[in-house]
């Protein structure tokens, strides 16, 4: 696991890790306490700062810039190693990997949506407004990398490396980072609407991206996947209970069938996640046996 071992290039006294984890646990904890007792509608209202969707989206996403900047500063000062070692075990960041992963996600998700829309479009209405959509795309391209960057660098980056060198166990590292990633999203409106079982999606997604990161010895593929996934979620179709309230192309207007929605989510994960791992594994010639040892 060359990626995890990148942590050994810096200073790793326990108190250095404790300071960073404590700072972000405090931030996450305070944020969680402010929304845990709110309904999905109240959460959406709280996120609607100006009432203009694109402006509200930009404000909400830009807040992650503070978190990402804080993480990078604390990381550099306390651990005294380069950002490249937090990103990849390669000598430099492979941006091509980010683009390949993003392309695959966009292609597959649009294909699945087209099939679903062709099968039954009764609850999906046209929501396209050229000027609003153009601004939405610009905001997403500029600010989504900041939002997903923080989540990836903190969970699949910092925590994965520090937990990895502390436990010397691939599976403990994968499970802990995935569960923590899921807990970060436990206050999302989708969880309130569908139920806590929706955490299976967030934890499962974290587990999937963790495997991707370890097998590829870098964050690049996970960064690309996460970015493209959120980009499609923001621009293709929205709903009144989505975490991202946007001027997307389509809007879900039907009654919410939580059981059917949850089952569709599980089915999508069961099909697409293994498919992504197989395709990317073939492209980058992964050594799957590396998951059996540290």
Q: pLDDT value at position 127?
A: 92
Supply the pLDDT for residue 203: 94
Query: Distance between CA atoms of 76 and 9, rounded to whole angstroms?
Result: 12
Domain count, the chain: 1
What is the helix (H) or strand (E) element at residue 237, kind and residue range? strand 237-238
The residue segments making up the domain with residue 71 are: 2-292
Q: Output the pLDDT for position 153.
A: 98
Q: How many residues does the chain have?
A: 294
| Residue 52: per-residue pLDDT | 81
Asked whether the beta carbons of 189 and 242 are under 8 A apart, the reply is yes
pLDDT, residue 40, reads 54
Confidence at residue 15, expressed as pLDDT on a 0 to 100 scale: 95
Mean pLDDT by 10 residues, the chain (294 residues): 90 94 88 62 59 85 95 97 96 96 95 89 89 96 96 97 94 95 80 78 95 96 97 89 81 77 86 94 91 70
Question: Which pLDDT score, from 0 to 100, does residue 245 have?
Answer: 77
Cα-based distances in Å from 177 to 119, 129, 153, 171, 208: 37, 39, 12, 10, 11
> SS3 for 214?
helix
- H or E element that contains 142: helix 130-151
Which pLDDT value is given to residue 45? 60
pLDDT of residue 44: 59
3-class DSSP state of 6: helix
Task: Identify whether the C-beta of residue 98 lies closer than 8 Å to the C-beta of residue 220.
Answer: yes
What is the reported pLDDT for 109? 93
């Amino acid at each position: 696991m060359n990626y995890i071992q990148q942590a050994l290039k810096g200073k790793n006294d326990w108190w250095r890790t404790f300071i960073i984890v404590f700072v972000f646990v405090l931030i996450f904890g305070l944020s969680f306490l402010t929304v845990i007792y709110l309904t999905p509608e109240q959460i959406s209202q709280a996120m609607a700062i100006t009432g203009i969707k694109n402006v509200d989206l930009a404000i909400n996403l830009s807040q992650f810039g503070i978190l990402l900047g804080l993480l990078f500063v604390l990381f550099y000062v306390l651990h005294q190693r380069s950002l490249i070692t937090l990103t990849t075990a390669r000598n430099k960041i492979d941006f091509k990997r980010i683009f390949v992963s993003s392309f695959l996600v966009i292609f597959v998700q649009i294909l699945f949506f087209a099939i679903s829309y062709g099968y039954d479009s009764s609850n999906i209405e046209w929501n396209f407004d050229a000027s609003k959509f153009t601004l939405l795309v610009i905001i997403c391209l500029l600010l989504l990398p900041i939002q997903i960057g923080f989540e990836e660098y903190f969970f699949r980056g910092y925590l994965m490396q520090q937990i990895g060198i502390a436990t010397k166990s691939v599976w403990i590292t994968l499970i802990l980072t995935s569960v923590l990633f899921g807990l970060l999203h436990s206050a999302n409106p989708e969880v309130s609407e569908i139920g806590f079982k929706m955490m299976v999606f967030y934890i499962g997604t974290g587990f999937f991206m963790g495997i991707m990161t370890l097998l590829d010895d870098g964050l690049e593929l996970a960064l690309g996947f996460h970015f493209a996934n959120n980009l499609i979620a923001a621009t293709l179709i929205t709903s009144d209970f989505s975490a991202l309230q946007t001027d997307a192309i389509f809007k879900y207007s039907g009654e919410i069938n939580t059981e059917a929605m949850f089952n569709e989510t599980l089915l999508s994960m069961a099909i697409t996640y293994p498919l992504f791992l197989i395709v990317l594994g073939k492209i980058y010639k992964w050594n799957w046996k590396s998951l059996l040892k540290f």
